[in-house]
Structure 1
Amino acid sequence: MLALGKLLELTLAGREPAEKTQLTVDGVRMRWLSEGALEVRPPEARGNGLDLLLSAGIHGNETAPIELLDRLLHDIARGDLKPRARILFLFGNPEAMRRGERFVEQDVNRLFNGRHESSSGVEALRACELERLAASFFSLPDRQRLHYDLHTAIRGSKIEQFALYPWKQGRQHSRRELARLRAAGMQAVLLQNKPSIVFSAYTYDQLGAESFTLELGKARPFGQNQGVNVERLETRLKQIIDGSEPEPEQDSLDGLQLFSVAREVIKHSDSFHLHLPADVENFSELEVGYLLAEDIAQTRWVIEEKGARIIFPNPKVKNGLRAGILIVPTTADGLA
């Protein structure tokens, strides 16, 4: 196997490859761009006009998605997977990956869409570099652009595999992309309705890609991901890469649960208190009238929405950041 196929090994060791560009036996060019970043380009005659960005390791302890990208890259480097799409593989936070930690100083996935400009440290620099790499990759005209940012969660979930679909004023969410997610094993999609500062929101808003954050299960250390089933996603990604993907059945989103954001719970001070068990699962239902959280100045979050659920509850975030999202069921009306 070509050395550049071992991008994960290089990244975890903090090494640069001796050869920055290599060709597979069937003419696929692999080019090392910077730490944790590798471009894969098919022969021109075989390309199908798709630019696919696959990112993982934005949080360094979310290893199942990292291992998934590693397997795909190995298959390409050995010639077993013959891409027709142009691909950028990104490992988001190499230093946190080496430490086996979520982040070093601060959460990279809260530093996009310009937020890194008002911050400092290793993660702010990395967020800036990731934006630069994505912008360069998606700079070619007249191409389809698709970005999957792969994650696992710090807690269990009543709906294990789900996606977050970013929002932009004047742009409709795509029924075709939802059908593709359903075929890839996603059980639910959160249709967002306001700007965000995560990586997928940057590529969606600023670069015009169809972009998604995919949550695939619970975060575990390297080599301990037997309980995270990514078979359907892995199969679909291989089909997207080699151009053999069946056309999704756009008329049928059966079984795919759709949600929209009702409110974000923002932590304003150290006095913030979230009235949920520490092990509460994502998508846990909350009754109308339930006191969810309290903060300074008698700020109270009381559940008003019928069918409300909580995702990403985290009272340990820094002041000013989101400590949870209240979501409600929605329909497929208004999709493009």
Structure 2
Amino acid sequence: MHSTSFDFLAHSQQGNPLPDFSVEQLSISQSAPGVVQVLPHGTEHYRRAVVISAGVHGNETAPIEWLNRFCEQIVTGQVAVTQPLLLILGNLPAIEQGCRETSVNMNRLFCGAHQDYPQSYETLRAAELEQQVAQFFARFSHLQPYHFDMHTAIRASKHEKFAVYPHGNELLVTEQLAFLQSCGIYAVLFSNKPTTTFSYHSAKNHSAFAYTLELGRVNDFGQNDLSRLQRFDAAIQQLLSQPQQPRLDFDTHRAYVYQVTEELTKLADDFEFTFDDQLANFTEFSEGAIIAKQNGKATRIEGGARGVVFPNSHVALGHRAALLVKRVEELELKVLKAQSSSTLP
């Protein structure tokens, strides 16, 4: 049935129920608005259960366009899938309106944090997506869970693509880093504490290999060059099509690994950075440099030089305004590599 077509994004925005159907030895069904489950018929090849999400922030269009195309390629038989797969478009109204969120940042509402906010579409949707992911992983509890939550950054970055690696997800670390390198992602941030992001939710509650992937910069629909995601596309296709994954070597010489050392929180309406909005992610400041001010107090860099990632002075009070990060030296990476030697499941 290679002639079958399916516009995941358009269908999700229209809100019409999707009838279950089969194509190319796959059973495809909608389990919630903007959530499609793809189950291969040959269960003997199952090794991993994979969740891929995009559009948790509605204006981050490149991952949304990629996911829409990827779903179309699965339905038309252009992409082979041998592993259970859950595809998610996150914030449907924000995608429709072309905005980051309609009321509250949905990527701060997971791990049950949606209960701490006034009810809105985002809080209800976060709870629904938690349930969808839980049901999917529970159904395939004998498989290794994966979750790739795709985003794009608000501003330019010294590393066009980078991953945020959840706190406490250290198992098989170098093999995961090697897989990210195969995706064309050579920069990785190690989180320093638990968070309430979608990827951390899957890592904490379902022991998933889970990552927040920053795959470029925010752009309008139709203005993205998806060829820049070619290596990511190829690596995901291989993960889904090949039950036995090849051994991947982690290249310490090409790795840019950072440890989050501090999180800046916006506590006052007068919060401001000392740099302009054009500053690229990972720009480094020397010790003693003043990078922000609020409540008449200055925030200085301490403990050595630090890079600044995700600076955003427009977040709500109490939310993260920036991360400060420290580069992990190559010697530390070599030690890290020597401690792990098995391949990804």
TM category, shorter: over 0.9
What is the aligned partner in structure 1 of residue 16 from structure 2?
Answer: 15
Q: Is the 8 A contact 1:305 1:328 kept in 2?
A: no
1:63, CA displacement in angstroms?
1.0
Distance 1:269 1:255 in 2: 40
1:68, CA displacement in angstroms?
1.1
- Which structure 1 segments of 5+ residues have no match? none
Pairing partner for 2:84 from 86, 89, 97: 86
Distance 1:46 1:75 in 2: 23
Secondary structure (helix, strand or coil) at the match of 1:229 reads helix
What is the aligned partner in structure 2 of residue 206 from structure 1?
Answer: 205
Distance 1:269 1:59 in 2: 24
- Which structure 2 segments of 5+ residues have no match? 341-345
Q: State the Cα deviation string for residues 151-172 of structure 1 (Å, max 9, x = none).
A: 1111111111000000128x54
Change (3 A) 1:117 1:236: same
What is the aligned partner in structure 2 of residue 241 from structure 1?
Answer: 240
What is the aligned partner in structure 2 of residue 67 from structure 1?
Answer: 65
Q: State the Cα deviation string for residues 99-120 of structure 1 (Å, max 9, x = none).
A: 1111111110011112101112
1:133 partner letter? Q
1:295 partner letter? Q
Distance 1:312 1:228 in 2: 25
Secondary structure (helix, strand or coil) at the match of 1:254 reads helix
Distance 1:269 1:173 in 2: 41
Distance 2:294 2:175 in 1: 41
1:90 partner letter? I
1:227, CA displacement in angstroms?
7.3
Secondary structure (helix, strand or coil) at the match of 1:51 reads strand
Q: Is the 8 A contact 1:239 1:245 kept in 2?
A: no
Q: Is the 8 A contact 2:83 2:243 kept in 1?
A: no
What is the aligned partner in structure 2 of residue 39 from structure 1?
Answer: 37
Task: Please list, as runs of the form range in 1=range in 2, the aligned pairs for 1:77-116 lying within 5 A after superposition.
Answer: 77-116=75-114
1:161 partner letter? K
1:2, CA displacement in angstroms?
3.7
What is the aligned partner in structure 1 of residue 343 from structure 2?
Answer: none
1:223 partner letter? G
TM-score (norm 2): 0.91
2:257 partner letter? L
1:289, CA displacement in angstroms?
1.1
2:152 partner letter? T
Q: Is the 8 A contact 2:66 2:226 kept in 1?
A: no
1:248, CA displacement in angstroms?
4.1
Secondary structure (helix, strand or coil) at the match of 2:275 reads coil
Distance 1:150 1:38 in 2: 16
1:222, CA displacement in angstroms?
1.3
Pairing partner for 1:320 from 318, 321, 336: 318
1:280, CA displacement in angstroms?
1.1
Distance 1:57 1:47 in 2: 30
Q: State the Cα deviation string for residues 139-184 of structure 1 (Å, max 9, x = none).
A: 1222011110001111111111000000128x54611010000110
Q: Is the 8 A contact 2:186 2:256 kept in 1?
A: yes
Secondary structure (helix, strand or coil) at the match of 2:10 reads helix
What is the aligned partner in structure 1 of residue 134 from structure 2?
Answer: 135
Comparing 320-329 with 303-312, greater Cα deviation is found at: 303-312
1:46, CA displacement in angstroms?
5.3
Change (3 A) 1:78 1:162: same
Q: Is the 8 A contact 1:218 1:228 kept in 2?
A: no
What is the aligned partner in structure 1 of residue 144 from structure 2?
Answer: 144
Indicate the percent of aligned positions where both proteins have the same amino acid: 31
Q: Is the 8 A contact 1:138 1:145 kept in 2?
A: yes
Task: Please list, as runs of the form range in 1=range in 2, the aligned pairs for 1:183-202 lying within 5 A after superposition.
Answer: 183-202=182-201
1:211 partner letter? A
Task: Please list, as runs of the form range in 1=range in 2, the aligned pairs for 1:287-298 lying within 5 A after superposition.
Answer: 287-296=286-295, 298=296
1:246, CA displacement in angstroms?
5.4
1:53, CA displacement in angstroms?
0.3
1:58, CA displacement in angstroms?
0.5
1:275 and 2:274 aligned:
yes
Distance 2:92 2:305 in 1: 39
What is the aligned partner in structure 1 of residue 120 from structure 2?
Answer: 121
1:117 partner letter? Q
1:230, CA displacement in angstroms?
0.4
Change (3 A) 1:322 1:251: closer
Q: Is the 8 A contact 1:161 1:186 kept in 2?
A: yes
Change (3 A) 1:46 1:222: farther
Q: State the Cα deviation string for residues 76-129 of structure 1 (Å, max 9, x = none).
A: 111222211110000010111111111111110011112101112110111111
